[in-house]
Amino acid sequence: MSRRAPSDNREVDPRVDGWMRRAVAMAAASHPHPNPRVGAVVLNPEGDEVSAAFHEGPGNPHAEVLALRAAGDAATGSTVVTTLEPCSHHGRTPPCTEALIAAGVARVIVGATDPDEKVSGSGIAKLRAAGIEVISEVIEGEVIAADPGYFHHRRTGRPRFRIKLAATLDGQIAASDGTSQWITSEAAREDAHQLRAAADAVVVGAGTLRADDPLLDVRLDSFSGRQPQPVVIVGDRPLPEDRRLYDRDPIIYAPRPMAGKPGCEIVVAAGPGGVDLAAVAKDLADRGMLEVLVDGGPTLATSFINGGLADEITLYFGAKLAVGSGLPMLTGPFATLADAAAVEIVEVAKLGTDIRIDAKPRIDSSAQGGAA
């Protein structure tokens, strides 16, 4: 079966997608934020793997350089498959384009062009100018899906926010007395911990801090990575005393200066409804947070959605019926059906006894309002 390069429609080796999937698997297993997840594979002229590597984070060598080093002399005349366009500028490490040219590679296969303005096509141009064959945009969608926060951060200047809520099948996230642990089963909660593991920061509002005394850490036996940065959004009411989270050095955004707790950093950002979430987004982006999980209650989730900051919404529905009204998933008035925001359902999965639904707000104007 023939395969054409997405970049220039030339016929290329039909194995390119499989090679790229191997590099994507290397990248997906890493968490080098604020740097991008990058996987690289060196292939001999027959297309067999010689070496593979991923980037471990700031200050460490890039994936292409590690893979070239591991390949040694076999790098000469090889094909290098890399999920992200090689960098062409001097950062904390020298440009990967120089390493690839110096190694004498014959061909470079690139998953996605780097949206960072310091690269943005110049890496590919330098390789081509040096006489190296480049095939680009190979399964680009899968490459971006393995590190959506990086691409989102570089394109929009803010982190990618995922709103997560867990509810009974009839949409209640807590009972009237504030109890919500545990609405979902262990399988769903373990899945939710995977969302935390992928995140650079986990955010809750003060309501959740008061009610649940959460730790916001990843509690999975298999997890050995960096714990996400805890973040709290507080309003006018005072911070609660003695929360376990204070030992995890949270960043606390408040509408006005307030007395903190030892280890907590207070950042003032006043806005409508309490804290200005757009300012929070900017500050988190400046701190190198690319992927942020909003793991609080309905008040904060509603503010993120209304502020146009919800990039993905993950809803877990436990196999329970509240049969009554406690706390709904989102707050505020719902006067008429035309006010409902249209979403795109991305995925529906059954997790043990429960259901997980992933949805994205629709941003095209025709999607505003309810469907007939």
Ligand X SMILES: NC(=O)c1ccc[n+]([C@@H]2O[C@H](COP(=O)([O-])OP(=O)(O)OC[C@H]3O[C@@H](n4cnc5c(N)ncnc54)[C@H](OP(=O)(O)O)[C@@H]3O)[C@@H](O)[C@H]2O)c1
Residues 6+ apart with CB under 8 A from 107: 78, 79, 80, 132, 133, 134, 135
Of 165, 202, 266, 292, the residue at the interface with ligand X (CB under 6 A) is 165
Tokens found for residue 270: 């006043």
| Distance of closest approach, residue 276 Cβ to ligand X, in angstroms | 7
| Distance of closest approach, residue 125 Cβ to ligand X, in angstroms | 44
Choose between 134 and 192: whose C-beta lies nearer to ligand X. 192
Alpha carbon distance 42, 48 (integer Å): 8
Choose between 106 and 319: whose C-beta lies nearer to ligand X. 319
Tokens found for residue 96: 């990967």
| Distance of closest approach, residue 162 Cβ to ligand X, in angstroms | 13
| Strand pairing category for 160-168 and 312-318 | parallel
Interaction mask 194-223, ligand X, x per CB under 6 A? ----------xxxxx--xx-----------
| Distance of closest approach, residue 35 Cβ to ligand X, in angstroms | 30
234 binds ligand X (CB under 6 A): yes
Sign of CA dihedral 166, 170, 172, 176: negative
Using CB under 6 A as the binding rule, the residues of this chain from 327 to 366 that contact ligand X are: 327
237 binds ligand X (CB under 6 A): yes
- DSSP for 22-38? HHHHHHHT---TTSPP-
Of 16, 52, 53, 233, the residue at the interface with ligand X (CB under 6 A) is 233
Residues designated catalytic: 64
Per 3-state DSSP, what percentage of the chain is helix, strand, and coil (rounded to 5)? 30, 25, 45
Interaction mask 285-304, ligand X, x per CB under 6 A? -----------xxxxx--x-
Of 6, 34, 171, 235, the residue at the interface with ligand X (CB under 6 A) is 235
Single out the segment in contact with ligand X by CB under 6 A; choices: 94-102, 114-122, 232-240, 355-363. Answer: 232-240
Q: What letter would DSSP give residue 138?
A: T
168 binds ligand X (CB under 6 A): no
Using CB under 6 A as the binding rule, the residues of this chain from 249 to 288 that contact ligand X are: 273-275, 277
Alpha carbon distance 52, 54 (integer Å): 7
Choose between 225 and 272: whose C-beta lies nearer to ligand X. 272
| Distance of closest approach, residue 267 Cβ to ligand X, in angstroms | 12
Q: Which single residue is written with the structure tokens 């806005």?
A: 271
Choose between 140 and 191: whose C-beta lies nearer to ligand X. 191
161, 304 contact by CB (below 8 A): yes
| Distance of closest approach, residue 184 Cβ to ligand X, in angstroms | 8
Interaction mask 4-33, ligand X, x per CB under 6 A? ------------------------------
Choose between 178 and 288: whose C-beta lies nearer to ligand X. 178
- DSSP for 161-176? EEEEEEEETTSEEE-T
Tokens found for residue 297: 């209650």
275, 303 contact by CB (below 8 A): no
36, 58 contact by CB (below 8 A): no
| Distance of closest approach, residue 326 Cβ to ligand X, in angstroms | 8
329, 167 contact by CB (below 8 A): yes
| Strand pairing category for 354-361 and 343-351 | antiparallel
What Rg do the C-alpha atoms of the chain give, in angstroms?
23
| Strand pairing category for 11-12 and 3-4 | antiparallel
Q: Which residues make up the interface to ligand X (CB under 6 A)?
A: 165-166, 173-174, 178, 180, 183, 204-208, 211-212, 233-237, 273-275, 277, 296-300, 303, 327
